[in-house]
Each structure stands twice: as C-alpha cells, then as structure tokens.
C-alpha cells in the first residue's frame, strides 16, 4: 500500500531544481508586478509591507465596529470564493482564517482532515490542488509536509489560471501569518510609545522547537534597536541558526535561565509552551519548569506598559488569574490574527485601496 | 493519559460557588438590562417571553415567504458571525440552528465532532471557548456534559468582550430551544381555538428518561388550566420531581397505562421514542410496547383538531401511514424549530424591532 | 446490529411498484408543468434541454467574469438554502456543487460522511431526508445505493412541501450532472466548428465499468451523425446494453484495441482510469496497459482541434507533461462542471429568465 502511494506522486519537471534555491532567489516567482501574489515565507515581508499590513488591519478593525462599515467590508469580496484546505488539523488557525474570509464576504469551501476521497483514489497532491483551483479564487493551505504550500504555488503559477496560495502553516518551520499577527500585536500595543522600534522583548520557554519565536526573531531585522532576551532552560536554548542571523543583522540578544531578573526589564514577554523533552521520569505537567511560568504575583514585577503574549493554546505557562490584567494581551493577540489575515486577503485581491477610501 | 487530561482543567475562581446556586438565583447573571443575554435554561422563559417568541417566529416565517422579505431578513445580521460548536453529534439540531442563522444572513463557523486539535494539545475547555469568542459574535453549544453551556457563559460574562451563548442541548436535562419549539407548535396549532391555555395534552412513551416531555411539563406553569395525561408503561413513569413541581403549581395531571382511553379526550398527543429498558430478552424493536404506538387506525379515534407531535427521530411509535394526515404536525414541528431559533437569535441581537417595523 | 438496522427501513406504500417501471414512464413524476423538478436520470435530458443548459452555463460563466455580473448572480438565490447530503465521499463533486451554489448566492448546509447521528438512532433514510427538506429548498444527494436519489424524490413529491432533488451520483450507474458537464465541454470546445453533431469521439480505458463513458454514450442519441470509437483491452469492452442501445438509435460505433490508429482520426479523446481487473500478479500501476495511456509524444499524432478529456482523478493514463497543451481540456472540464451545475440550479429555481435579461 505504502509503496503504491509513493508511486502516485507525479513528477513536475523543474521543481527539484527550484526547491533548492535560496529563499531570496525565489521571491520574484511568488510576486506579480511588485505585489505579493502568494504568501509562502515570512521572508517575503519587508518593513514597508509589515507597516502597511498593520495599517490595513487597523482600518478593517475600525470599519467592522459599525453595521454599515461591516457591511461594506462584507461586500468587498462577495464575488470571490476561497478554499480552506487544512490537511493538518488546527482549529484555531482554521477558524481565524475562516472568519477573516467571512469579514470580507468570501464564499468558503472547507476541506478539513487528513484524507480526501481523491487522495484515496490515488490522485497526486498536485492534481488535487489544481482541481481545487478550478473552483475557487484563493487557496489557504495547511499541511504537515514542509514546502507543500510552496510547491503548490509553484505548480499553479505555471498554469494559465493561477490562484493565490496562502501558507497557513506547512511543516515544522514556516507559518508566516502567525509571525504577521505577532508583529501586529506588538505594533498595536506600542502604538502610543513609538511602536516596536527600540523595544526589549523576552521570549520564554521552549525556544529550540518553538516555531513562533523563531519566525518572530527573523522578522526583527525589519525593526531598529530591538533587544531580545532568550529565557529558557539549557536544553531548550535558541538554536545557532537564529543566533547567527541576529548577529549578522546586528540585532542585540541575551540568553539566560533567570526569568525573574528579566521580568522588570522588558516591554513584552512572549510566553510559549514548554514540555519535558524526555519523559522517562513521569511528573505532573504543572510541575515542569515552574520557574518559566508566569503567575499572578509576577504582575507586580513587570512594567506598567509591559505586555504578555502567548501563541496559545496554553497549558500551565500562564496562570488563569493573569487573564484579566489589561497587560495580558494573548486573547487580543488571537483576535489580531483574524484582522491581519483579513488585511492580507484584502491586499491579495487589491481591495486595500477601496478600504482606504473609507478613511478619506 | 486520562489523569493528564483531568489535570488540564484549570480552575476559574468562583465557579463552584456559583454552580451550586438555585436556577432562580442565577438568572440575572445571564441577562443584560432586562433582556436575556445567554439562553441556558428553559426556566429563563416566562409567559411574556414565550408569547413574544411565538409572535416573532410568525413574523419571520411570513417574511421569508417572499423573495424581498427573505432578503430583508438575510441582511439583518449579515455583519455578524456565529459559531456552532457541537461536541455531541446531533444532525437535526445542528441543521436547524444552521439554517436559522442562514435566514438572518449570519456567517457560520462549524465545529462538529468530539475532539478539536486544541483539546488534543491539552487546552482547557474554557480556553477553547474563549478562543472561539475572539472570532464570532454568538456561540451555539451542544455538549454531553451537564452544565457546560452554563459554565461557558459564566466564564465569558466575566471577560471584557462577552458574546452570547445559546445552549443547544447540554447533558441529560437542559435543551431549552427544544422546549421553545414545542410551545410554538402547540400555540400555532391552537391559534384559532384560543391557544394553549385550557388544553389537554397527552405525553406518551418513555416519560422517565425523555428530556423533551420533562422540559415541556415545566413550561406548563406559564399556561392556564392545562391538563397533562402521562401515558406510559409502569417502568417509564414520569419522575417525582416533575410531579412535585406540577402539584406545587396546581397543574392537573393524570397517569395511566391505557393509551386507548386517552386518545379521544385530548387536544394534543406528544409521542416519544420508547425502548426496552433491559435487553436480556432480545425482541424485535417493532414489537416493543405496541400499545404505546400510534397507528393509522387511531386517526379515527382522535378529535378532529387533535394534533400529533413527536420530537423525532421516530422508530416505530408512529406508523408512516399517519404522516399525510393534516393532524400529524411532527414535520411542521421540526420546521417550527428553525423559525423559533431564528426568532431567538434575532432577539439576542436586538433586531426584533426591525422585523416588527415590516408589519406596521 | 445489522438485522436491527434492516428493521428500521420503513415501508412507503407504492414504492416497489413505482421503482419497477421503465425510466420513460417515470419522467412525468419528476417534472412540474413541463419543467424538470428533480434531476435523477440522464434520460431526462433531451436535445432542447441540453442546448439550453449549455447556453445558460455560458451566460453564467460570462457574467461571473466581472464583479458586477458576479454580484448579480450571487443575489439570484440569496434567499434560498440548499443541502449537500453526501453520504458517499466525493471531494471533487462536492466542491463543484458547493461552488455552483455559491455562485448563485445560496446558503449551504453540508452533511459529509457515512453516518449521521439520526441514522445512529435508527431513523429511516426517508425520514432523514424528509427532515432535511424541512430546512432547505434543494437537496443534492450522493449515495452509494442505486436508486436512492430517485426514492428520495419520490417520497418528497408526495408531501405537501416537496423540494427539488439533484442526483449527485447514486450507485454504480446514474450520475446525470457528470454527463451534463461532458456534453458542455464537447459543445463548448467545438463551438466554432459546428458543435458536437457529426464528430468522432474515442472513449478509452475501462469501458465496462466506467460510469461516465456509459452515460455519455446514452446521451449521443440527442446528436446527429456522431461516431464513437470504443478503445479498450478485451476484458474491459463496452457492455452489450450500451451497444444494443446505440444500434437501436442508429449511432455508429467501432470497437478496437488499437489506440494508436484511432488517435489521428478523432475530434475528441475521452480518457478514463484503467486498473487491473484481477490483482493476483501484483505489478506497478504505472505499467498496467500502457498502450491505453496518452503521453506527450501522442500530442503530435492527434488533430490540431482534437480535445483530450478525462473525468479525473487520473493516475497514469495521461502524462503530466500533456497538461499544458491547449488541447488538454480536462482541467477546464472540471470547471465546466461548476458552470453547468450552476445553470442547472438556476433553471430549477426558474431564474434562468433573469439571467437571460442581462444579455438583452
């Protein structure tokens, strides 16, 4: 069976060669006349683009506060159809994208789960995607295989009727819209104190395997004078590739295991889930690395403007009692994901100018 | 594994205390300025509310008969987003709520099935609901755990951005919108003969375990001079809690095993499914308690205005040949569920006045 | 368990008698005042109807090219609700119908998968469908049991509130909308060379079990002077029932195993999947019947106007390198399915005249 399945993967000429290129060499292929056409890598975002997305997300958020504004938004793409193709389950990201599409009035086809009937019949993943592209104007893909979204966009861009692809998380590394919502949350939270430039950010927990903190670190090259504090147990230290990148771009960072001493210093604390690496000695989860948790009493030790972020879901890293403090922005961070994704989709369909007109 | 799962349920302070209160003491917490904000218990409905819902459902039903009326309805909440969170499968209730939302033009996110990826990652059910509330304006919950909808509403009402919760069936006891649709069906069927006041209603089948007949019995306290006939085998008699409640509110009821003698006396017959309690002696289902079934020949024995109801699905309790008699209203009863749910949602979003304006 | 399940199928009087009739005798029952009301069999389509559907699909396709046209379309049925009831999984057909509904602005309820909770509770399939019909205005059914869609329509047409049924594939034989999209693809491809009349069409692969080639062969009686080439290994020859039908209607056909000699002669090549009948001698799928595959080098051997069709999904029958040739129309064929299904639904709701008015 397994070997048969392997056999079905058909070869599209040129992919192997393309896939080996550096990301920087690939970017043009996913753009169209100076505008991003597919959203595949966080590396596609420069400072101007990030600023523009935050601005557009703000506009969408404001418009949706009134019925007339919300109705205007929902007519913007009422003639467009999107597919959410989530081979890898992820309720949170799925619902966020779905409602981003709903805000803009798109009609949605959903594929959730690990197998579709076509795959059962032995169709290649490329043919499946090309089939979907027959029916819709945008495909948002989440897939466990690294590079799947990229390959998909590559195949479609060679057809006579390409549709945009958004990478909703593909393999262990790339999840560009998560990075986007983190940036938006930081910029929005620091709106009255000069934005993200010059800020000190602590990243806490499993930095070795955490996709979000890695992506966010990369994007720091777009901001001035940011200092990162990597706070983790020794076994979960940030990997050398990121540290090399930061050095190359002259971004200051410090590594420490002492969370307590960092708390009063920073403008933002980005908490992440932390789990035991090896579980030979079973222990209660709540007791694992408690020194890297954030509790109610820590609220007194951080600055009055310091925000607490978390990509969610959380387990024990943040005490529930922290939730009602105004500096706990992780629930707002989720909602920001919806706004920034709506902004991204509006941009891809070139209706950002229609939105801007509402603010003239 | 199981113990780990237990461990993830985080404690929200105050819930234990709140949950132990009498229902009557809780009602204020789920209201907002004299208007219901969450729909959790059938006890939230008084006569004025029930009358208003029936009236509003009629208006929605009439409007939807024309294209222009239907289009007006579908613009009422076109700027709002709902989530149907059905952890416990229930196709009928799900589709009924979904189409009620569609009538009002809401955009829908669906979660159907027993597990979501967040739960897999160990998120607490409260965090999951709070996440959903980030993206939508209304959550309709169906859950196997008694009190789940209540707890959910309780948690959200303490946040800075609460959204309304509708209980779509939670545990063995509460299913308030089913009670609502039963009342609407009775009132609508008796429209020309004075409504539900003063009517005789037979409830037939498994009264001991039947959630619908229990809820409906409770709501009778809102109507005058109703008489209930509890028709069941001895092993499935109505429980003492309901009978105590009826006595306390001076609602007349009789208990009998003799369905035949009751048939000519009543204005409505509410049939329910009946299954063998113990199955040591396997027998054909169709042969179980046939004296509590309703057959074609019984149509000649009931009054010309007597209606036959059933919450559906049915098995053998009602012969298919009964379906085409105009007094068989169980299919219309289903459709009434959609209208009354649309009315309820319109009320929660305060657009009932917009609907009323169409009838000035 | 199984016997219990059997037991739940309730008997609707008259079905056995009706089901035994010839298709030609049944057609009136699925029509309403000269207009088709349910779409059950390909035999319901005559030349006038097929021409009209192709014309209407063209109009819908053209309108949807502009935002204003697409918005007009999406208001046509914005007050109507459809259900997609797909008991048998079929992602492709599902997504095609879903987006056809979206084009016309319908609100959709989806049931995908093999069991619904009602079925679990022992409800008869007829009751399940009647329940669905309470909530929506159209039901599109896909079911593994032959005749299921027909029986469903038969039951509903006897109620006081019937809704239209579209057969989205039912059992091994009937899949009328697939036949419709194949006709549309042929007519559209031959638009400038006189349409389908007088053309030569090769059908290649497993003709014995292939549902699409069988249905398409039947529909040829509506066209003049068509010649069919049945190209298959001996074990997969077209069955006698079709050949008898063709003879009766004086439609010319030839049978051959020699694909190569047919290639230069025909105006269309309809490829289908071909799998080993018996698998005692396991072999690589790619190596099965390679003489019935179409490869890049064959492009040089066919006429300049000859189109290559495939119902998809494909495995090895057509080389990926063929895809970019303009004569490879199988991706467009998929998209045509969406247009023709939108046309069919517009027709069922009598809004085809509204569409026509846009072209006056």
Residue B174 DSSP code: B
Chain center to CA of C17: 27
Question: Do the beta carbons of residue A202 and residue A231 sit within 8 Å?
Answer: yes
Alpha carbons B104 and B166: distance in angstroms, whole number? 16
Query: Within an 8 Å CB–CB cutoff, is residue B313 touching chain C?
Result: yes
Query: Within an 8 Å CB–CB cutoff, is residue C130 touching chain B?
Result: yes
pLDDT at res. B114: 63
Using DSSP bridges, classify how beta strands B107-112 and C227-231 pair: parallel, antiparallel or unpaired. Answer: unpaired
- Provide the 3-class DSSP secondary structure of residue C75: helix
CA angle B85, B89, B90 (to 5 degrees): 95
CA atoms within 13 A on the CB side of A197: 8
The token pair that represents A113 in the structure block:
């789960």
Alpha carbons B345 and B353: distance in angstroms, whole number? 13
Chain A nearest C-alpha distance from C124 (Å): 26
Which of these, C56, C105, C66, lies nearest to C341 by C-alpha position? Answer: C56
What does the pLDDT look like over A118-172, one tens digit per residue? 555 678 888 999 999 999 999 999 998 889 999 999 999 988 899 999 999 987 7
Decide: residue A3, CB within 10 A, 0-12 exposed, 13-18 middle, 19+ buried: exposed
- Start-to-end C-alpha separation, chain A: 61
What does the pLDDT look like over A98-120, one tens digit per residue? 999 999 999 999 998 765 555 55
Which of these, B131, B259, B70, C277, lies nearest to A334 by C-alpha position? Answer: B131
Question: Do the beta carbons of residue B340 and residue B45 sit within 8 Å?
Answer: no
pLDDT at res. B317: 93
Chain A and chain C share a number of CB contacts under 8 A equal to: 79
pLDDT at res. B206: 94
pLDDT at res. B281: 55
Question: Rg of chain B over CA atoms, in angstroms?
Answer: 21
The token pair that represents C259 in the structure block:
């694909």
Q: Is C121 a catalytic residue?
A: yes
pLDDT at res. B2: 35
Write the CB contacts of B182 (distance below 8 Å, at least 6 apart in sequence).
B212, B215, B216, B270, B309, B311, B333
What does the pLDDT look like over B165-175, one tens digit per residue? 999 998 777 89
Residue B193 dihedral angles phi and psi, to the nearest 5°: -125, 40
The token pair that represents B80 in the structure block:
């709002």
The token pair that represents A152 in the structure block:
């998909």
Alpha carbons A151 and A170: distance in angstroms, whole number? 11
Angle, helices B211-219/B240-248, rounded to nearest 10 degrees? 10
Of C70, C89, C320, the CB nearest to A12: C320
Q: Which residue has the higher pLDDT, B9 or B105?
A: B105
Chain C nearest C-alpha distance from A84 (Å): 12
Query: Within an 8 Å CB–CB cutoff, is residue B157 touching chain A?
Result: no
Q: Is B112 a catalytic residue?
A: no
The token pair that represents A99 in the structure block:
């409602």
Contacts of C287 in chain A (CB under 8 A): none
Decide: residue B61, CB within 10 A, 0-12 exposed, 13-18 middle, 19+ buried: buried
CA atoms within 13 A on the CB side of A90: 23
Mean pLDDT, to the nearest integer, of A15-33?
Answer: 92
Dihedral sign for Cα B95, B101, B104, B108, please.
Answer: negative
Alpha carbons A300 and A320: distance in angstroms, whole number? 16
- Provide the 3-class DSSP secondary structure of residue A202: strand
Decide: residue C153, CB within 10 A, 0-12 exposed, 13-18 middle, 19+ buried: buried
Chain C nearest C-alpha distance from A189 (Å): 37
Which of these, B96, B295, B266, lies nearest to B189 by C-alpha position? Answer: B266
**Residue C328: beta bridge partners?**
C308
Question: Do the beta carbons of residue C243 and residue C218 sit within 8 Å?
Answer: no
pLDDT tens per residue across all 360 residues of chain C: 333 333 334 556 788 899 999 999 999 999 998 899 999 999 999 999 999 999 999 999 999 999 999 999 999 999 999 999 998 878 899 999 999 999 999 999 999 876 655 555 678 888 999 999 999 999 999 998 889 999 999 999 988 899 999 999 987 778 999 999 999 999 999 999 999 999 999 999 999 988 899 999 999 999 999 999 999 999 999 999 999 999 999 999 999 999 999 999 999 999 999 876 555 555 566 668 899 999 999 999 999 999 999 999 998 899 999 998 999 999 999 999 999 999 999 999 999 999 999 998
Residue C64 DSSP code: T
Q: Residue B95 and residue C79: Cβ atoms within 8 Å? A: no
- Provide the 3-class DSSP secondary structure of residue A325: coil
Residue C359 dihedral angles phi and psi, to the nearest 5°: -105, 10
**To which residue do tokens 């010319």 refer?**
C252
- Provide the 3-class DSSP secondary structure of residue A94: helix
Alpha carbons A7 and C273: distance in angstroms, whole number? 16
Q: Is B121 a catalytic residue?
A: yes
Q: List strand residue ranges (DSSP E) for chain B, in order.
A: 31-32, 35-36, 81-86, 107-112, 138-143, 164-170, 200-204, 227-231, 252-256, 268-271, 307-309
* Cβ count near C124 (within 10 Å): 20
Question: Rg of chain C over CA atoms, in angstroms?
Answer: 21
pLDDT at res. C142: 93
Write the CB contacts of B177 (distance below 8 Å, at least 6 apart in sequence).
B39, B93, B97, B166, B167, B168, B337, B340, B341, B344
Percent of chain B at pLDDT > 90 equals: 77
Mean pLDDT, to the nearest integer, of B237-253?
Answer: 96
How large is the greatest C-alpha to C-alpha distance in chain C, in angstroms? 62
CA angle B126, B130, B134 (to 5 degrees): 170
pLDDT at res. C248: 96
pLDDT at res. A67: 94
Alpha carbons A106 and C102: distance in angstroms, whole number? 10
pLDDT band at B302 (very low <50, low <70, confident <90, very high): very high
Query: Within an 8 Å CB–CB cutoff, is residue B118 touching chain C?
Result: no
Q: Is C224 a catalytic residue?
A: no
Search chain B and give the residue with CA nearest A98.
Answer: B109
Residue of C61, C80, C142, C341 with catalytic role: C142
Chain A nearest C-alpha distance from C252 (Å): 33
- Provide the 3-class DSSP secondary structure of residue C343: helix
Cis geometry, peptide bond prior to residue A313 (ω within 30 degrees of 0): yes
Residue of A5, A35, A47, A92 with catalytic role: A92
Q: What is the mean pLDDT of chain B?
A: 91
Mean pLDDT, to the nearest integer, of B217-241?
Answer: 96
Question: Do the beta carbons of residue B229 and residue B294 sit within 8 Å?
Answer: no
Question: Do the beta carbons of residue B201 and residue B270 sit within 8 Å?
Answer: yes
**To which residue do tokens 């045509």 refer?**
C336
Alpha carbons B197 and C37: distance in angstroms, whole number? 43
Angle, helices B47-63/B330-348, rounded to nearest 10 degrees? 100
Which of these, A120, A30, A128, lies nearest to C331 by C-alpha position? Answer: A128
**pLDDT reading at A281 higher than 90:** no
Lowest model confidence (mean pLDDT) among A225-234, A279-288, C84-93, C217-226: A279-288
- Provide the 3-class DSSP secondary structure of residue B7: helix
What does the pLDDT look like over B42-93, one tens digit per residue? 999 999 999 999 999 999 999 999 999 999 999 999 999 999 999 887 889 9
Alpha carbons A88 and B217: distance in angstroms, whole number? 46
Query: Within an 8 Å CB–CB cutoff, is residue A123 touching chain C?
Result: yes
pLDDT at res. B160: 86
Q: Residue B315 and residue C8: Cβ atoms within 8 Å? A: yes
Using DSSP bridges, classify how beta strands B35-36 and B31-32 pair: parallel, antiparallel or unpaired. Answer: antiparallel
Chains near B (3 or more Cβ pairs under 8 Å):
A, C
Query: Within an 8 Å CB–CB cutoff, is residue A95 touching chain B?
Result: yes
Chain C nearest C-alpha distance from B216 (Å): 22
The secondary structure element, H or E, covering residue C139 is: strand C138-143
Q: Residue B135 and residue A324: Cβ atoms within 8 Å? A: no
pLDDT at res. B335: 97
pLDDT at res. C119: 58
Residue of A175, A199, A200, A341 with catalytic role: A175
Mean pLDDT, to the nearest integer, of B25-49?
Answer: 94
What Cα–Cα distance (Å) separates residue C258 from each residue in A26, C253, C255, C262, C293? 46, 15, 9, 7, 12
Q: Is C142 a catalytic residue?
A: yes
pLDDT at res. A116: 56
Of C8, C12, C109, the CB nearest to B95: C109
Mean pLDDT, to the nearest integer, of B226-236?
Answer: 97
Decide: residue C358, CB within 10 A, 0-12 exposed, 13-18 middle, 19+ buried: middle
Alpha carbons A161 and A158: distance in angstroms, whole number? 8
Contacts of C159 in chain B (CB under 8 A): 323-324, 331
Residue B307 DSSP code: E
Write the CB contacts of C354 (distance below 8 Å, at least 6 apart in sequence).
C76
């Amino acid at each position: 069976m397994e070997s048969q399945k392997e056999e079905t993967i058909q070869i599209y000429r040129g992919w192997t060669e393309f896939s080996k290129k550096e990301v920087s060499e690939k970017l043009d292929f996913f753009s169209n006349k100076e505008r991003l056409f597919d959203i595949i890598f966080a590396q596609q975002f420069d400072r101007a683009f990030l600023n523009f997305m935050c601005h557009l997300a703000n506009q969408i958020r404001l418009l949706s506060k009134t019925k007339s504004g919300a109705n205007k938004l929902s007519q913007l793409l009422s003639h467009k159809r999107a597919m959410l193709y989530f081979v890898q389950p992820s309720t949170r990201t799925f619902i966020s994208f779905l409602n981003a599409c709903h805000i803009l009035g798109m009609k949605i086809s959903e594929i959730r789960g690990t197998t579709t009937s076509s795959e059962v019949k032995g169709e290649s993943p490329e043919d499946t995607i090309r089939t979907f592209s027959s029916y819709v104007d945008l495909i948002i893909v989440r897939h466990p295989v690294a590079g799947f979204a990229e390959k998909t966009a590559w195949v479609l861009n060679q057809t006579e009727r390409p549709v945009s692809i958004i990478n909703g998380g593909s393999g262990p590394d790339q999840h560009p819209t998560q990075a986007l919502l983190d940036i938006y949350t930081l910029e929005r939270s620091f709106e009255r104190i000069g934005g993200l430039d010059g800020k000190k950010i602590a990243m806490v927990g499993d930095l070795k395997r955490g996709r979000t903190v890695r992506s966010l670190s990369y994007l720091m090259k777009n901001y001035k004078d940011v200092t990162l504090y990597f706070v983790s147990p020794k076994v979960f230290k940030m990997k050398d590739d990121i540290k090399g990148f930061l050095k190359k771009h002259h971004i200051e960072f410090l590594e420490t295991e002492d969370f307590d001493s960092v708390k009063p210093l920073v403008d933002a604390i980005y908490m992440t889930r932390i789990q035991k690496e090896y579980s030979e000695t079973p222990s209660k989860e709540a007791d694992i690395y408690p020194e890297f948790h954030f509790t109610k009493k820590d609220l007194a030790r951080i600055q009055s403007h310091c925000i607490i972020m978390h990509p969610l879901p959380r387990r024990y890293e943040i005490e529930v009692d922290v939730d009602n403090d105004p500096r706990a922005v992780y629930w707002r961070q989720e909602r920001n994901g919806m706004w920034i994704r709506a902004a991204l989709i509006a941009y891809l369909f070139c209706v950002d100018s229609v939105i801007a007109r509402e603010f003239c």
